[in-house]
Structure 1
Amino acid sequence: MTEISAAALRGAVDLSSLRNRPAQPPAAAPAPAEGGGDVVVDVTDQTFGDIVELSRSVPVVVDLWAEWCGPCKQLSPIIEKVTREQNGRVVLAKVDVDANPQIAQAFRAQSIPMVVALLGGQPVPMFTGAVPEEQVREVFARLLEVAAQNGVNGSVPVGDADAATGEEPEEAPLPPLHAEAFEAIEAGDYARAISAYERALAENPRDEDAKAGLGQVRLLHRVQGLDLQQVRAAAAAAPQDLDVQFQVADLDIAGGHVDDAFGRLLDLFAAADAPDRARIRTRLVELFDLIGAGDGRVAAARTRLTSLLF
């Protein structure tokens, strides 16, 4: 699986203790939440392993919440609504952190609501705290793009008719330029994918899916063929070489070390002259868009960047 996300983006989260639990009586399959249909389920420490396995074929969004949490009560209905609108292409796993401390500990949930995706058994940070519905939709769109790039594009039956026939709902066809980009990504032709997304944005500058896809595929294109050890050695030998420092930051983002990437670029920015500052700021803004405005690491990095500007 390609190590990139909307975030991914993924952080250092160890789910092995939940995926491979000690022998115990078989747990029942996760039950649908009230009114949630097949795509919204309540999971526990005992049943979470089933969700991890499900994420190998269908993207799973994990909503970490608690009964006492006011922002959770604002956010959860939005996430459920957007999940159902995906027609089975996303499953929402709801986790009461008070009742399921092992899951909360595995995700290092220091504050809630916290929303994380699982793709192929691997965690991908989405956002923390209550965010508006428009932003939730944007993050879901980005998740589906990353999932498709990594072959996690199955779906689950939705509704009684689908369950009875065993048929999966038909997905709406992708716009032609998006389809061209996906085909190019699967072929490893990132330059052609970039061109397709750029043409899609030229036609519709508000195409958020194309914008998200373009940022992700540009990163894939930049890190393609790079050797991490060689790049790090070159960066250590030439600390003022922006191009090689950018390569290290890209590899950190692709590997999920988001704070390391932002810290490296912000340190460079602090010591740079005006022309170099412009280049560094442009790259930072691109990476901010890639990770997503709702991510706390982006907010912290933006705050530091602003302080350095003024």
Structure 2
Amino acid sequence: MAEQAPERFVAGAIDLGEVKTRADARAQAQGRDAKQGVSPVVTVSEQNIQAEVVERSMQVPVVVHIGTQRSPESAEMHTVFTRLAGMQEQISWIYAYLDADSTPQLAQALGVQGLPTVLALAQGRPITDFQGGQPEDALQQWTAAVVGAVAGKLEGLPGEPEQDDPRIAQVRSMLDAEEPDADQALELLEELQAAQPKDEELEQLRKRAEVIQRARAAEAAAGDEDGATEGGVDKHYAAADALIARGRVEEAFDGLIAAITQAQGDDKAALKDRLIELLGMYDAADPRVLAARGKLASALY
């Protein structure tokens, strides 16, 4: 499968570059893009190729299958693509079938040299393609790769919730792992926050990664007399960090709450502030956060 669009698509009879410059204005002028009016499966014709394929690819990737019912492998791929597209809970790609028998002029305009041919469009331009039949698992992996390749780069369908950048899921997995990889997570977060500096979830994830880094640094310094934690509130800070780094979040909260009940004055206030900081790294509706806030209220009052 090609990584870049073949030259035949760039130089084809359909001027995709020119269409792209007109796509935004035309799409905004039409009211047909309401959420309920978008189908995950379309049949391509001369009348709708610009609107439902090229312009639609400004919003989500469009997988165009140029095929023929005379080919068993093409017919099978049509069935599979239709099923995969229809199974989406939220539409992240569109399947567009172009019948080369009924619309040979479109197949010719796209420079198709063999049937079946499948190409993916994003932002009005082909990004990858392949020829020949493929099994269902390969088609599923290919469409997932197409969606991942353009994540965060397209407008999304009107009325559809914004799709998470797949890198966010990677960061979550890194931090939730038995052996968290905070360094790699922070590298990805730096890229994500450069584009979304005010995103609350990204900030929460960054703080979690920094706590894990802090805990690892404390562990490394544990054998160093100069670097070891001597006691006081720092001892409780370090213990909470270490537990969070191991995924034992509730124990970290409970440990700080227990320390708060025993502390006085400035130490009590400092421990409370640290607990609130750690609670802020997680969703406010997280049961562990809700339970800890209730225990903190009891400890303080």
Bin for the TM-score computed over the shorter chain: 0.3 to 0.5
TM-score, structure 2 length as denominator? 0.45
Max Rg structure: 2
**Higher relative contact order by CA 8 Å / sep ≥ 6: 1 or 2?**
1
